[in-house]
Amino acid sequence: MDPLSLAVGAGLVAIGWLGGRFGSRRRAGSTPKLTARCGCGHDLALHDRETGKCHAELSRRGMHGMREWVGCNCRRYTGPIPLEEVFSPPILPPES
């Protein structure tokens, strides 16, 4: 084996080791804060659990320059589901 390929191999090992080390450290460290936010910009809590409809209200300027409140037209939550939602037992119909 010639010294050059040996050095390249050692370099690759070092890069792999560093990559794995920093990669795993980053993953094990601060857990990414999962914001349960829908595509409409509202929190998961504002969405109906059954229908998925967003209950948030938006203020907008009406026809006469008056501020009016309109319900968010979001019909279904599209954002990430928090872990507690994922791990909670799913509601399944009783087995027949």
Of 43, 44, 53, 72, which one interacts with Zn ion (CB under 5 A)?
Answer: 72
Taking the complex as a whole, how short is the minimal distance between the CB of residue 66 and Zn ion, in angstroms? 22
Site string for Zn ion, 41-70 (x = CB under 5 A): -x-----------x-x--------------
Taking the complex as a whole, how short is the minimal distance between the CB of residue 35 and Zn ion, in angstroms? 13
Query: How many Å apart are CA 54 and CA 76, to the nearest integer?
Result: 7
Cβ within 8 Å of residue 43, ≥6 positions away? 36, 37
Burial of 43 (0-12, 13-18, 19+ CB in 10 A): middle
Of 74, 80, 86, 96, which one interacts with Zn ion (CB under 5 A)?
Answer: 74
Count of Cβ atoms closer than 10 Å to residue 57 Cβ: 13
Taking the complex as a whole, how short is the minimal distance between the CB of residue 78 and Zn ion, in angstroms? 6
Judged by CB under 5 A, the number of residues near Zn ion is 7
